Chains A and B, each alone.
Chain A
Amino acid sequence: MQIDLTTLSISAILYLLLLFLIAHAAEKRWLPGKLVRHPAVYVLSLGVYATSWSYYGSVGFAEQQGLLFLTIYLGVTLAFVLTPVLLMPILRLTRTYQLSSVADLFAFRFNSQPVGVLVTLLMLAGVLPYIALQIRAVTESTVVLSQDSSPQVLALWFVLIVSLFAIIFGARHVTPREKHEGMVVAIAFESVMKLFALMLVAGVAIYQAFGGPAGLQQHLAENPQLIEDLYGPAQGGAWPSFLVLAFAAGFLLPRQFHMLFTENIRSRHLYTASWAFPLYMLALTLVIPPILWSAQVLQPETSPDYHVLGLSLASGSPTLAIIAYLGGISAASAMIVVSTLAISSMAMNHLLLPLAGVQPRHDLYGALRWTRRALIVAVITAGYIFYLLMEVGTGLVGWGLISFLAMAQLLPGILGLLFWPRATANGFIAGLVAGATVWVLTALLPPLTGHSVLSWFSLTSEAAVGSPEMYQSATFWSLSINAILFVLVSLLGRQNDAERDTASTCRELTPSFPAGDLRAASPAQFVERLASVMGRNTASAEVERALRDLAMDWKEDRPGALHDLRIRIQRNLSGMMGPVLARMIVDHRLELEQEDPATRAQNVRLIEDRLETSRTRLRGLAAELDRLRRYHRQIIEDLPVGVCALAHGNRLVRWNPAIAKLTGIALSDVIGRRLDELPPPWGNLLSEFLNDSETHWHRQQVQESGQTRWYSLHKASIEEPGRDRSGDTVLLIEDFTDLQVLEKELAHSERLASIGRLAAGVAHEIGNPVTGITCLAQELRDEPDPAKVQDCADDILHQAQRINNIVQSLVRYAHGGSPLSAGSLEAVNLHETVAEATRLTMLSRRARNLRFDNRVPVDLQVEAKSQPLVQVFVNLFTNAADACHDRADGRVRVTARILERQVLIRVRDNGCGIEKHSIARVLEPFYTTKQPGQGTGLGLPLVYNIIRDCGGALDIDSDAAGTAVTLTLNTASAQQTEEA
């Protein structure tokens, strides 16, 4: 039986169009999102691993090498067993840093464009023959079914349609962030098709050859040599080597890397794939031995590589034959599409863009998209040309293994990338070049020349060309030389900073932090700087995208946030044009101030962020240290005092909740900012305090939102243990507003109490002139003599003036404003102040008998506030009056003397004195030595506060002979005296 070429062509083209429809339906959301994003679709899409080599060639491989064919799948299973420590870390790296290919991954780790170029060239060299192999499998399968000797036209159509599919569904986006869901669903469908076709062929063949599974078992029992043929070759030395090759191919083949990492939607799907994908391969390969044994019985007229088709023809069913044929088309087309996408991405990022550079275009995205599409066509065309040049006699398996060996050259590198931070780019390049050279000489050339280079060095026998032993030797020597050179050159060379940084990143350790401050101060400036490289539209779109990713807006100007924005832009660009070029663009266009050491501010935040996200991974001493760090940080966080720490350049690195509440400025708005960037009044206030020579500012009055508040500020330099001062500063801010208000109210209460005490005296003082006025008025009524009337009127006026003086003194005292209120100090005449206080005190009944001796020099001026100073003396004199209450000869002497720029004022009475144990407490509010109801306990505390506000000091000395209060005030300056 045979099927005509037209039927096969139409079937193949219709099948490929069905793939277009499936992909289109997924992209247009005609298929449910749950189905498209289901882990099973991801797992099945990994079935791209099974190419026409697996589909057709496995039977031939099994016939020649028995169970050795299974190593190609068991090796992959071993790689997937290591998912948590091997595949998951790679997935994290590719997702986080948007690395779209294996070349991107290595170029990122070693921060080297030559590394990217070398890996890309190796991939190209390994994959092009493989693509050619797929095209050959399609044409040969067509020949097998149709017996037509010129299927090149169909091959051309196949290549054209596959190219179109790759262009439409595989190159729709320029960034790996946006997945090609349509293509993934189509590839998954192809995997189902491959499995279905193989199982169908196997089932039909088993029934046809043996009458069913029982017949097969009986056949095997009768022919035990079949089992020996199956297991015998596997006991040779090639078994472990093939496992190694498949282990590497399982995740390093461009198509595998692309589907595993680049098209992965959710990382947890990889865990599902770790067992489900090997299960798929198990199902796919379980039918290979039965197909082989069936073919040995049915004897189809095909080579072992195409027994799958031969058996379908032998069944006599054209439908089965076409299904089997479409299974092969699936295997070939899936491999070509995905491999081409991966290779085109590598070629653009590591061959084309580094050579041509990024041009500032109106539509850079469009340019990149079309360049990638052109590269897809170029790669497939190159594969087609390779197919035309390929020698027909070479088996399907041979080129597959050659390709696998090429990918395996990356194995030392990937292990170094993940587990050896000391690895260098030079070491990787040396190992890769040496390994690739051995690969060319021992694996690539022998099938072309017919001679094994290994035999030149007596490493293997001449007869071993193309045999498993040849691949075994090639694997051993190429990987050994590769790994040895990789290690040696890495150990002998030195890593640069960028390499060290990315090495730490790859191991999730602590990469170095930004070396300087960003020159661009806003997202708009980012656009300005990037526009010269990539055009304004693209720059704007990239900044917009990064802002959206980070939930920021265009007004963002926090230094820490701008650093994050820079990193995000670099990662996004990395997905678009490769990590090396992205880093170069960002380093050159969004450069950092290299001279600015102010980045400690940013670094402290980054270290904290990193520790917070890594907490669960810390063990042992590191975990203990982290607990200690958190405890110390919590102390600062819980302090009821505002704390902020400043790094070099006056950048804020710490801002505890108390200061956030006190200032109303949130932590996220200040970290990384300069102190003077804080909103008023804090920017100016804290900057002035920082620049001041004083380390403490007491009760600083601040106008905040129309309200007056009082703060005390303190500062100290931060020292680094074992070093000099770091230049960093810590500021403490205490809010004294409530206390200030309370003191104000207390002072007012004390003043009212004083007035109350004076009330009786006032009544007496006013009563006398009033009585005099009354008498004079009576005299005036009957006095006819105008001269005497004039005298009476003068007397009345004099008495009225006395009353007026008393009232004015009281009014001044009562409404003199808060003794602690704002206002600058002024020159106050001390003698007059004492006299005024004396007059007021004399109004009190208790002070009537007291004799005041004002010995203060008449012209002595002190720096104080006038009215509060009167209250100081009133309070002191009142206390003296109380102390002398029992004495008839009570007296108070006030003296003053100048000592340099200060005036010592001594108020001395001869009262009963204060007991020693009370002296220490008399300045405490509400402490009184008087009888209950006679004192408020606020007099001396108020005196102390007023004197302190005037910049002075107070000292109390007391004994049985009386009490002496010594006040120290500054002398008034010449300017103050003049103004007074």
Chain B
Amino acid sequence: MAQPTEQGPGAASVLLFLFSLFLLASPFAGWWMQLPAPWYVVYLLWLLIIGLSAWLAGRARRHAN
């Protein structure tokens, strides 16, 4: 199972995971936390990840079919 069974969605999900880490658990996260941004900016970033996940899930489902 290390070899993703749906190679497209598998690889894309790993990329999205890395992108999410970049947004949430990297020096970049420390940077945006310091910005004088609205309080809900973290929720917007979260929503972005969810949106990309939804797009990826659609692809994975089509791939599985």
A residues adjacent to B (C-beta < 8 A)? 67, 70, 74, 77-78, 80-85, 88-89, 92, 220, 224, 226-227, 230-231, 234-235, 239-240, 243, 267-268, 271-272, 274-276, 278-279, 282, 286, 289, 418-420, 506-508, 617, 619
Q: B8-50: contact bitstring with A at CB < 8 Å (1 yes, 0 no)? A: 0110111011001100110001100110100110110011011
What 18 new A-B contacts, CB under 8 Å, besides A227-B36, A278-B49? A67-B33, A77-B50, A77-B53, A78-B17, A80-B53, A83-B53, A84-B9, A84-B56, A85-B4, A227-B39, A230-B39, A234-B33, A239-B29, A268-B61, A271-B61, A275-B56, A507-B2, A619-B7
Q: Are A81 and B53 in contact (CB under 8 A)?
A: yes
Residues of A within 8 A of B1 (CB): 85, 89, 92, 418-419, 506-508
Q: Are B2 and A419 in contact (CB under 8 A)?
A: yes
Known contacts A85-B13, A507-B1; decide if A271 and B25 are in contact (CB<8 Å): no
Complex CA gap A226/B38 in Å reads 11
Complex CA gap A226/B39 in Å reads 9
* A–B complex contacts, Cβ < 8 Å, 8 sampled: A67-B33, A83-B60, A84-B6, A85-B10, A85-B13, A243-B24, A508-B1, A619-B7
Residues of B within 8 A of A282 (CB): 43, 46-47, 50
Residues of A within 8 A of B34 (CB): 231, 235
Minimal Cβ-Cβ distance residue in B for A230: B39
Residues of B within 8 A of A275 (CB): 50-51, 53-54, 56-57
CB distance from A866 to the nearest CB of B (A): 73
Residues of A within 8 A of B60 (CB): 83-84, 88, 271
B4, B10, B39: which contacts A220 (Cβ < 8 A)? B39
Minimal Cβ-Cβ distance residue in B for A505: B1
Minimal Cβ-Cβ distance residue in A for B37: A227
Complex CA gap A37/B54 in Å reads 20
CB distance from A221 to the nearest CB of B (A): 10
Q: Are A418 and B39 in contact (CB under 8 A)?
A: no
Q: Are B14 and A85 in contact (CB under 8 A)?
A: yes
Complex CA gap A506/B21 in Å reads 27
Q: Are B5 and A89 in contact (CB under 8 A)?
A: yes
Complex CA gap A230/B33 in Å reads 10
Complex CA gap A151/B9 in Å reads 51
Minimal Cβ-Cβ distance residue in A for B41: A231
Minimal Cβ-Cβ distance residue in A for B18: A81
Residues of A within 8 A of B58 (CB): 271
SS class of chain B's interface: helix, strand, loop or mixed? helix
Minimal Cβ-Cβ distance residue in B for A87: B13
SS class of chain A's interface: helix, strand, loop or mixed? helix
CB distance from A281 to the nearest CB of B (A): 9
Q: Are B10 and A286 in contact (CB under 8 A)?
A: no
Known contacts A67-B42, A89-B5; decide if A77 and B61 are in contact (CB<8 Å): no
CB distance from B47 to the nearest CB of A (A): 7
Complex CA gap A506/B54 in Å reads 27
Complex CA gap A226/B64 in Å reads 47
Complex CA gap A80/B49 in Å reads 11
- Which of B2, B4, B34 counts the most A-chain CB atoms under 10 A from its CB? B2
Q: Are B53 and A278 in contact (CB under 8 A)?
A: yes
Known contacts A81-B13, A83-B60, A239-B29; decide if A286 and B40 are in contact (CB<8 Å): yes
Q: Are B10 and A81 in contact (CB under 8 A)?
A: no
Q: Are A74 and B24 in contact (CB under 8 A)?
A: yes
Minimal Cβ-Cβ distance residue in A for B39: A227
Complex CA gap A74/B61 in Å reads 23
CB distance from B60 to the nearest CB of A (A): 5
Q: Are B50 and A278 in contact (CB under 8 A)?
A: yes
Complex CA gap A59/B3 in Å reads 42
Residues of B within 8 A of A74 (CB): 24, 46
Complex CA gap A464/B36 in Å reads 30
Q: Are A83 and B33 in contact (CB under 8 A)?
A: no
Residues of A within 8 A of B13 (CB): 81-85
Top 7 nearest A-B pairs by Cβ distance? A275-B54, A275-B53, A89-B1, A271-B57, A419-B2, A84-B9, A231-B33
Residues of B within 8 A of A88 (CB): 5, 60
Residues of B within 8 A of A67 (CB): 33, 42
Q: Are B53 and A274 in contact (CB under 8 A)?
A: yes
CB distance from A564 to the nearest CB of B (A): 23
B7, B20, B47, B64: which contacts A268 (Cβ < 8 A)? B64
Minimal Cβ-Cβ distance residue in B for A216: B39
Q: Are B21 and A78 in contact (CB under 8 A)?
A: yes
CB distance from A786 to the nearest CB of B (A): 113
Complex CA gap A231/B31 in Å reads 11
Complex CA gap A271/B13 in Å reads 12
Q: Are B3 and A617 in contact (CB under 8 A)?
A: yes
Complex CA gap A230/B35 in Å reads 12
Known contacts A78-B24, A239-B25; decide if A274 and B57 are in contact (CB<8 Å): yes
Residues of A within 8 A of B49 (CB): 77, 81, 278
CB distance from B29 to the nearest CB of A (A): 7
Complex CA gap A260/B25 in Å reads 26
Residues of A within 8 A of B43 (CB): 282, 286
Known contacts A78-B20, A78-B24; decide if A279 and B30 are in contact (CB<8 Å): no
CB distance from B42 to the nearest CB of A (A): 6
Minimal Cβ-Cβ distance residue in A for B9: A84
Q: Are A278 and B46 in contact (CB under 8 A)?
A: yes
Residues of B within 8 A of A508 (CB): 1, 3, 5
CB distance from B51 to the nearest CB of A (A): 8
Complex CA gap A370/B4 in Å reads 41
- Which of B4, B33, B53, B60 counts the most A-chain CB atoms under 10 A from its CB? B53
CB distance from A254 to the nearest CB of B (A): 22
Residues of A within 8 A of B29 (CB): 239
Complex CA gap A418/B2 in Å reads 6
Minimal Cβ-Cβ distance residue in B for A272: B57
Q: Are B53 and A243 in contact (CB under 8 A)?
A: no
Residues of A within 8 A of B64 (CB): 267-268, 271
Complex CA gap A742/B40 in Å reads 91
CB distance from B14 to the nearest CB of A (A): 6
- Which of B42, B43, B64 counts the most A-chain CB atoms under 10 A from its CB? B42
Minimal Cβ-Cβ distance residue in A for B19: A81
Q: Are A235 and B57 in contact (CB under 8 A)?
A: no
Residues of A within 8 A of B2 (CB): 418-420, 507
Minimal Cβ-Cβ distance residue in A for B32: A231
Q: Are A289 and B57 in contact (CB under 8 A)?
A: no
Residues of A within 8 A of B47 (CB): 282
Q: Are B54 and A81 in contact (CB under 8 A)?
A: no
Residues of B within 8 A of A70 (CB): 42
CB distance from A231 to the nearest CB of B (A): 5
Minimal Cβ-Cβ distance residue in B for A419: B2
CB distance from B54 to the nearest CB of A (A): 4
Complex CA gap A201/B21 in Å reads 33
- Which of A88, A89, A240, A267 counts the most B-chain CB atoms under 10 A from its CB? A88
Complex CA gap A152/B26 in Å reads 46
